[in-house]
Structure 1
Amino acid sequence: MLRYIFFFITVFSGFSSQAQLNLSGKVADEAFKALPFVTVKISGAQNKVFYTQTDSLGIYQFKLPAGKYSVVFSAVNFKSLGRLITITADTIIKVQLQRSADTLADVQVSAKKALMEKKIDKTVFNAENSISAIGTDALELLSKVPGVRILNDKVLLVGKGGVNVMINDKLVPLSADDLSNYLKSIPSANIAKIEIITNPPAKFDAQGNNGLINIVLKKVNAEGFKGSVNAALTKASYFTGSAGGNLNYRKNKITLYANFNIRKGSIVPFEQSDVFYHTQTWNIVNKDRNFRMVPGGQVGIDYQASKNTLLGLSYNGGLTDFHSEENIRTKVYNQSKGLDSMLNSDANAKIKSHYHSANIYLKQALDSVGKQLTVNGDWFTYRDDKNRFFNNTSYFQNGMEIPHSFAEYLSTSKQNIDLYTLKADVDLPYKSFKLSFGAKLSFIKNQSDLAFYKSRNSNYEIDPQQSNLFKYDENTQALYINFNKTIKKWDFQGGLRGEYTQVDGISVNERNKNDYLRFFPTIYVVYRANDKNTFSLNYGRRINRPPYRKLNPFRWYSNQYAYAEGNPFLQPSYNDNIEFSHTYNIFTTSLSFTKTSNGFNDVNFTDQATNIQASRPVNFITGYHYQLSHTIGFNVIKGWESNSQLDFFYNVARSGIAQTLGNLNGFGVYFSTLNQFVFNSSKTILGEISLWYQLPTVDGLSQNKSQYNLDVGIKTLLLNKKIQLAFTAADVFKTNRYRFSSVINNIRQEYHNYYDSRQLRITFRYNFGNEKIKTRDRKSGNEEERGRSN
């Protein structure tokens, strides 16, 4: 019978008891399907312990001296299996694992696997074990991961800043706004785990100074049909509604999958700034209502051409229809704090954007023990059309309009991005080590057509001094090699990646042409002292190429005195990262250091003579970041699981431009806790409370004030757990406000922003079909370039 475990041992020619012998095999489920990522633990004499994981074909292997051993196979959603064996020659052990009986449909509330796991090169948040994965979307679920923050829909790591986001090892190729829309379209119930990779191995693109966050979706292997429908209604200042569904079907050699989501609604962000000129103070308040309709979807097919060959094709696309209604009021105060004058600007923006991407891939097994070749071809295109109409009217201190002060303007931008990549990876697991290598080619074309108009006699006349055609081409060729080896209690991994990049940018008849070769080494060392204590040390170098939008010189005016623009001559920055960590049972402590060279950020340049405020990105920062982190996860009492993180960090930033402060440094403290509750024995009534708090800190050359956020939720599973119903409240006390200050040209600037984050939400999801279906693992090849449109 399939549920009985079997194993087979083959003995080859004998060796002496001191020889190193091979122990290998394959792990499968009840249906003989290979199981990847199964943990295999070997315990021998004198408390020696060895660990490994099965590869994508379910293969594992060890090199051991002859003797008696205990072997334990364990994996989430499966019962652990243990065996006592005696090795006197090369040995093969094949096993089948039996699926656990307490697996819930699309949601795991299980103590078998910790919610947070520390691994050699990443930290894993097991969403399948999280109550947070009920009734939320991918962006909100990210905000519940300890150490991750969401600020104005942008994903950040505590103390380190922005981070690139991947879906199934593929960077999402969208701008910051479109990225948040895409993440909001992914129901969290579709997510298996979230990986925080602060120092990615050489196999990953070197792009992204602070590392990567990889969202791994659930997989499909078993034959059958499965799907779900979902709907949500959210109330912030106004209502937002969303709906969608997904379908998966597999029969014989064919696997089909599709999903579609749509969201429509509006929010009301609030932004206030105070600029303290030497003789005046400008108080600027921007009240804005943003409307969005965001449909999107994906379809794909996998074909198992033979036992060793898998082919796949997928398409992903979406569009955003955005418009805003803005009122920007500027009050100008004199030195005695009396009102001097006022400026009113009414504006509306219209943005239509769409993207299309396609991936074709081949996965070819080269033998039966895990050697394989993977080839990916990717195409991505993005188009947007932006129009912003605004007017300005000035008033005296008594409220009377200043004669002839009324003026109307129009700024437009059309952007086209085309990206093509080809990537090949080879994985070669040998008896005593693992080797992988690969290559990648990428070709990027980015073009922006910019124009600025001023209304005269009811007609818009173009301003040739503020109009521009911007062209940017970038080609990169990359090679990498990675090596893994285990020696008793030690794990070693090292890699080297080389990337050769050619850049050619033209803007206003200025040309920026450059080519450069850079190398990116990575090193990992892990020592398992015993079952309770593990020590690790890693080092890596990263590059942060500018997002395409920061290269675009388009000016986005708030009023006639303030605008934001890109910089076509912005250069990449580089990070060197090193981290040491110790894990004792449920408690992990890590100490890390990061140096940033040639860092870039937006600087709001202010001119005392003209009162012009121009925000543009420039390379000017050399930064040093020191961080001490403590994480702990445990069951407080039965039905209450808590995971908390406490970070202490110290930032030093030095400026390379005269307009800013020469340097700024300071300490910061961040605390977060995620608490999950199970209120009944059938695990159908669930709850959660999450809180984070950050003390005042330094971020680059800005000083941030303290802020905190509290979320609560109650969730229930109905109809044999096929229905999920969730009620959640985010930012309960309306305290997630972003307040910071900086000094530019000896002029102090203070900002107070709130992005309508206090929200009430009700979410409904219905699952149907074969509950045992899982989704295949697949990767695409244009990870780095697609993420840079953020």
Structure 2
Amino acid sequence: MKLKYLFIATLLSTATFAQTQKDSLKEIEQVNILVKKKLLERKADRLIFNVDASIASQGMDAGETLANVPMLKVDENLGTISITGKSSVNVMINGKMLNLTGTALLNYLKSIRSENISKIEVITTPPSKYEAQGNSGLINIILKKNPNLGFSGNISTGLTQRTYFNGSTNGTLNYQTEKLSLSLKTSYIEGAKRANEKYNILGASQNYSESTRKDMWQDLTPSLNASYKINKNSEVGIEYIFGHEKSGMDILNTTRNIASDLTEKNLLTNTFHREKSPTQTFSTYYDLKLDSLGKKLSFASNFYRNNNDTEVNFSTLTLPENTIQDVKTLSKIKPQIFSVQGDLELPFSFGTIETGVKFNQFRNSADLKYLDLKENQYVIDDKKSSTFNYREENYAVYGSFAKNFGEHWETKAGIRYENTVVKSSVNNFSYGQWFPSAFVSYKEDKNVFSLSYSRRINRPSMSNLNPFRWYENPYSYSSGNPLLKPSYINNYELSYTYNNKFSTSIYYLRLTNAFGQIGYLDGISQNGDYQNYYNNNFYGANVSYTDTFFKFWEATISANASYQNSEVFNIEAETSKGTSVSYSINNTFTLNKAKTVALFLNYDQSLPYKNVNSYFHNFSNLNSGIKVSLMEKQLQINATVTNIFAQRFRGDKYFTDNSQHFNNYWDGRSLRLSVNYTFGNKKQINKKNINFEEKDRAQ
């Protein structure tokens, strides 16, 4: 059978030289149909989703494609990408960690077309080669290689109507010779959305707060990627990304405070928030093949800098005093990251050895000025102003060994040691930790079993550590905590895959010294900061099934159930044991034989659940749309309606002396229209990407 496919491919390849580009593309598609990839593949340390094998993932952007991967959840309301039943994960492109979170990450993924994605790897227990940083694991998006020479590219535009209009434009131009590869990419995003957030604290005194907010953003991001093959064994490359982001918020907040003696005070605050955040990222690499058997030595370095400049003006009317306070805050935050690493891969007949070292330095300086308007002149309040300097250095070394036993058994084990030294304006300390990982997989016909374990660390981000007080009004603020310590995660998972369609797993996750934001009431002040305050045990199970019915209907059904118990410290709270259940059903219906018109209908729901001292209400989401491919799939048009039910995100937190309740809506209902045109070579240029996992902590 393999010889037959090879013979067909050879004939088609020969015919290509005599046919037009249109005929060539048709023939390539015919070969792809004959040798269609399996939808799911289970490896010892990851689950692989082959995008070309999924009808539902054609003609979409990377964010929408991730939502089609079983057990992955993309939540635009929260700005998160997570594994169902677990916490958020970090996203990589060809092994390179993206320096983006939340909405910025989702916007970036919209600039990547599914046609340029080869596969998506879901790594729930990352091996020792990767940074130990992160809660649940990694998602690695592998882009297709470009075997052709010459120019190629694409241009796309998207329009989204929420409460306000949003627009985006992306363009890519590639050029490749036998030795030189160049890629120039530019994206521009501009838009706004409305948010309504309610937060109430009920105890001996009561505080009712409601904010209606307009979030605005404008982001221009050009990038250049270049690589050059010095000879058949060595390659060098660079990447430069410049991000010029402007954002803002217009906020109207009303706060009603009832003291324990029933004295009532009301605050009305108008806030004008404007922020500039230019960023620069420069990366280089050098790869050297040591022999023809696959031994390879790699070096890489990365530099990242952000000069954040923010001005916030707010005016507060206080009743019944009928007084007005005008306040301005000016902040300058300058995070900077430098890293260098070396990796050695040594495949032998008895197994494969991987080892490497890495150094990264994270520096940040922050300056906040708080100014009161007095007699028509702003005067600095030194008690409410502050500066903060932070420096962190991390030294890491790792080693791993992988070996296959016959056709059925695949094993891999490794260990990573990271030593961290922290110096800040508040305190100095250091700590070292070992991070082991182990994987074993057994494959027999259509059945694949795998067992994995890894230990991880979750270090606080800059916003978690920064002690600045970000004021909502003259009385209420939120701040970071420079004394915050990292949390640790132990992941155990047993997985089973059948026929590359059915996948299930059971897992246990132990989270210790976890941190989060704690809100409290001090008089009329509703404040919040970050604390290490709980340990958590999760016992859970995932199950998913993907298949095609009647040749025109592709469906993916996923479900998760988990049980958690927890313990708290540093706070007085009521903890609860609890279960959680969630499920999703994604459907894609092909409406014609050419498979160029498709309708999709997706639904997911999270039933009410408890976690630590919190209770989260039911949340459901219904999305639908249509996809049209024209001009041999070079032109693609999508129309989508999201969050049709316009659901609000609601929850409650219970402490010994008070309860806290939130009810938020983040403009989730939207109508989207996107158009993408691909020209020249249709496949993505093969670009080397460099690991830079720690960059997301600058957020």
TM-based fold match above 0.5: yes
Q: Secondary structure at the match of 1:464?
A: coil
Q: Quick one: structure 1 residues 628 and 436, their matched pair in 2 at CA, closer, same or farther if it must change by over 3 Å?
A: same
User: Is 1:589 the counterpart of 2:504 in the alignment?
Assistant: yes
State which of 224, 228, 248 in structure 1 corresponds to 2:174: 248
Mapping of residues 514-663 of structure 1, within 5 Å: 514-528=429-443, 530-585=444-499, 586-607=501-522, 610-661=523-574, 663=575
How many residues are matched?
A: 680
4+ runs of 1 displaced by more than 6 Å?
3-7, 108-111
Mapping of residues 192-211 of structure 1, within 5 Å: 192-211=118-137
Deviation at 1:690, TM superposition (A): 1.5
Residue 781 (structure 1) aligns with: 691
Mapping of residues 607-756 of structure 1, within 5 Å: 607=522, 610-661=523-574, 663-735=575-647, 737-744=648-655, 746-756=657-667
- Cα distance in 2 for partners of 1:569, 1:30 equals 63
Preserved CA contact (<8 Å) 1:620 1:657: yes
CA-to-partner distance for each residue in 1:433-458, whole Å, 9 max, x for gaps? 11111111111211111121221112
Q: Which deviates more, 176-185 or 630-639? A: 176-185
Preserved CA contact (<8 Å) 2:257 2:524: no
Q: Quick one: structure 1 residues 617 and 114, their matched pair in 2 at CA, closer, same or farther if it must change by over 3 Å?
A: farther
User: Is 1:390 the counterpart of 2:301 in the alignment?
Assistant: no
Amino acid at match of 2:689: K
Amino acid at match of 1:349: H
Q: Quick one: structure 1 residues 531 and 339, their matched pair in 2 at CA, closer, same or farther if it must change by over 3 Å?
A: farther
Amino acid at match of 2:626: I
Q: Secondary structure at the match of 1:788?
A: helix
Report the structure, 1 or 2, having the larger helix content: 2
Residue 17 (structure 2) aligns with: none
Deviation at 1:355, TM superposition (A): 1.0
CA-to-partner distance for each residue in 1:551-597, whole Å, 9 max, x for gaps? 11122222233211111111111001101112222322211001011
- Cα distance in 2 for partners of 1:482, 1:635 equals 39
Preserved CA contact (<8 Å) 2:5 2:34: no
- Cα distance in 2 for partners of 1:606, 1:335 equals 12
Deviation at 1:492, TM superposition (A): 1.1
- Cα distance in 2 for partners of 1:527, 1:496 equals 22
Q: Quick one: structure 1 residues 192 and 730, their matched pair in 2 at CA, closer, same or farther if it must change by over 3 Å?
A: farther
Deviation at 1:666, TM superposition (A): 0.5
State which of 403, 406, 409 in structure 2 corresponds to 1:490: 409
Residue 119 (structure 1) aligns with: 43
What do you get for the CA RMSD once the two structures are aligned?
Answer: 2.6
Deviation at 1:348, TM superposition (A): 1.0
Q: Quick one: structure 1 residues 318 and 110, their matched pair in 2 at CA, closer, same or farther if it must change by over 3 Å?
A: farther
Q: Which deviates more, 266-275 or 694-703? A: 694-703
Residue 256 (structure 2) aligns with: 331
CA-to-partner distance for each residue in 1:278-337, whole Å, 9 max, x for gaps? 24x33211101112111112111111110111111111121211122110112346899x
Residue 223 (structure 1) aligns with: 149
Mapping of residues 182-193 of structure 1, within 5 Å: 182-193=108-119
Residue 276 (structure 2) aligns with: 352
Q: Quick one: structure 1 residues 748 and 340, their matched pair in 2 at CA, closer, same or farther if it must change by over 3 Å?
A: same
Deviation at 1:664, TM superposition (A): 2.4
Structure number with higher relative contact order (C-alpha < 8 Å, ≥ 6 residues apart) = 2
Amino acid at match of 2:383: Q
- Cα distance in 2 for partners of 1:356, 1:319 equals 9
* Higher Rg: 1
Deviation at 1:745, TM superposition (A): 5.1
Q: Quick one: structure 1 residues 738 and 414, their matched pair in 2 at CA, closer, same or farther if it must change by over 3 Å?
A: same
Preserved CA contact (<8 Å) 1:104 1:721: no
User: Is 1:758 the counterpart of 2:692 in the alignment?
Assistant: no
Q: Quick one: structure 1 residues 462 and 177, their matched pair in 2 at CA, closer, same or farther if it must change by over 3 Å?
A: farther
Amino acid at match of 1:714: I
Deviation at 1:481, TM superposition (A): 0.8
Q: Secondary structure at the match of 2:576?
A: strand
With structure 2 as the length reference, what TM-score do the two structures score? 0.92
Q: Quick one: structure 1 residues 465 and 642, their matched pair in 2 at CA, closer, same or farther if it must change by over 3 Å?
A: same
- Cα distance in 1 for partners of 2:34, 2:520 equals 53
Unaligned ranges ≥5, structure 2: 15-23
Amino acid at match of 2:311: N
Residue 18 (structure 1) aligns with: none
State which of 351, 357, 379 in structure 2 corresponds to 1:433: 351
CA-to-partner distance for each residue in 1:492-538, whole Å, 9 max, x for gaps? 110111111111111xxx3x21111111110111122x212221111
With structure 1 as the length reference, what TM-score do the two structures score? 0.82
Deviation at 1:224, TM superposition (A): 2.1
- Cα distance in 2 for partners of 1:461, 1:145 equals 54
Deviation at 1:102, TM superposition (A): 5.5
Preserved CA contact (<8 Å) 1:538 1:580: yes
User: Is 1:504 the counterpart of 2:423 in the alignment?
Assistant: yes
CA-to-partner distance for each residue in 1:457-497, whole Å, 9 max, x for gaps? 12221111121111111111111111111113221110111
- Cα distance in 2 for partners of 1:562, 1:313 equals 46
Q: Secondary structure at the match of 1:257?
A: strand
User: Is 1:378 the counterpart of 2:308 in the alignment?
Assistant: no
User: Is 1:164 the counterpart of 2:164 in the alignment?
Assistant: no
Unaligned ranges ≥5, structure 1: 8-28, 32-97, 397-401
Preserved CA contact (<8 Å) 1:351 1:385: yes
Q: Quick one: structure 1 residues 185 and 553, their matched pair in 2 at CA, closer, same or farther if it must change by over 3 Å?
A: farther
Task: Report sequence identity in percent.
Answer: 31
- Cα distance in 2 for partners of 1:574, 1:30 equals 53
- Cα distance in 2 for partners of 1:673, 1:4 equals 38
Preserved CA contact (<8 Å) 1:577 1:593: yes
- Cα distance in 2 for partners of 1:394, 1:463 equals 20
Residue 303 (structure 1) aligns with: 228
